[in-house]
């Protein structure tokens, strides 16, 4: 079955209409990979998948990232479903790129809606390619060679009532330094923004905080954002190399459950560091 596509906003998000068999077979995977890099977020509706089908489809897009709990990760506050994730779930409510604590982040992430809350719990996505491209020339020149220190613990600075165990675990992650402008292999550029961004290298604290907040506000304007209102069975996937995301608040006891699979990336945050190490 061929793909039928409908753009959901001007700059981000596309509805893809097809069937589960086409997705699992891999027949459309090359087209899907190209489309997700163009549009940032793809929404698959009416293509129900169990875990085996979701994994089979994910593997047609690239190697699957294994987690402690297995290749399918359960995103939920329910400790019976995913006791490890409960530890990190509070960070999901703030704008972020996944795995800024690594040199090479995941390429794409896929969520499959299994249980949904009565209210809240929708997911927002921001296109960091479009946000960069729309910057003024003066801002592009200002940030062109700046680098930012990213810390896992900084991702949780707005979260209240963290346990001592959580704080210790977050601080155990080594800080990473990434460029503010991601120079991609295809020649495009995007912003590396995330709540893990702690400070700009070489700037005083006030100036650094002001710049990072101004860029975050810029990149999360409505014109760069798609808000996905979940329906049961929805499969949503996004390009983690050019898209930030966050969940809208929902009740911890709501039972919200999404099954996540992730494709390993091969593009480092800092290609110049990769060349220097070669």
Q: What is the 3-state secondary structure (H, E, C) of 97-151?
A: CCCCCCCCCCCEEEEEEEECCCCCCCEEEEEHHHHHHCCCHHHHHHHCCCEEEEC
pLDDT at 277 over 60: no
Residue 83 has pLDDT above 70, yes or no: no
Residue 156 has pLDDT above 60, yes or no: yes
Domains in the chain with CATH codes: 4-277 (3.60.130.10)
What's the pLDDT tens digit per position in 87-120?
Answer: 666 778 999 999 999 999 999 999 999 999 999 9
pLDDT at position 275 is 52
The CA distance from 60 to 64, in Å, is: 9
State the average pLDDT over residues 186-191.
97
**If you average pLDDT over residues 246-250, what whole number do you get?**
95
Q: What is the pLDDT of residue 164?
A: 79
Mean pLDDT calculated for residue range 186-211: 97
State the pLDDT confidence band at 278, using cuts at 50, 70 and 90.
very low
Tens-place pLDDT, residues 55-81 = 999 999 999 998 766 799 888 887 777
The confidence score (pLDDT) of residue 198 equals 96
Determine whether 269 is exposed, middle or buried from the number of CB atoms within 10 Å of its CB (0-12, 13-18, 19+): buried
Q: Mean pLDDT, to the nearest integer, of 239-252?
A: 95
pLDDT tens-digit series, residues 114-153: 999 999 999 999 999 999 999 999 999 999 999 999 998 8
pTM, two decimal places: 0.94
Residue 274 reports pLDDT greater than 70: no
């Amino acid at each position: 079955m061929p793909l039928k596509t409908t753009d959901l906003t001007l700059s981000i998000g596309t509805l893809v209409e097809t069937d589960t068999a086409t997705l699992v077979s891999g027949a459309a995977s090359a087209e899907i990979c190209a489309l997700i890099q163009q549009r940032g977020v793809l929404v698959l509706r009416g293509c129900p998948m169990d875990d085996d089908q979701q994994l089979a489809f994910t593997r047609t897009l690239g190697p699957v990232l294994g987690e402690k709990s297995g290749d399918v990760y359960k995103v939920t506050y329910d400790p019976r479903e995913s006791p490890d994730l409960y530890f990190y779930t509070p960070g999901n409510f703030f704008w972020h790129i996944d795995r800024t604590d690594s040199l090479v982040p995941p390429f794409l992430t896929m969520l499959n809606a299994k249980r949904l809350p009565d209210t809240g719990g929708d997911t927002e996505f921001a296109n960091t390619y479009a946000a960069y491209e729309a910057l003024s020339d003066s801002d592009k020149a200002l940030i062109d060679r700046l680098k930012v220190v990213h810390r896992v613990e900084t991702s949780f600075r707005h979260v209240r009532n963290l346990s001592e165990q959580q704080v210790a675990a977050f601080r155990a992650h080594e800080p990473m330094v990434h460029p503010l402008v991601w120079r991609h292999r295809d020649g495009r550029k995007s912003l590396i923004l995330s709540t893990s961004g702690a400070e700009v290298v070489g700037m005083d604290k006030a100036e650094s905080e002001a710049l990072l907040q101004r860029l975050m506000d810029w990149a999360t304007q409505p014109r760069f954002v798609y808000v996905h209102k979940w329906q049961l069975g929805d499969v949503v996937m996004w390009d983690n190399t050019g898209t930030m995301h966050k969940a809208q608040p929902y009740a911890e006891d709501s039972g919200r459950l999404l099954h996540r699979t992730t494709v390993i990336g091969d593009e480092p945050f800092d290609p110049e560091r990769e060349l220097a190490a070669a």
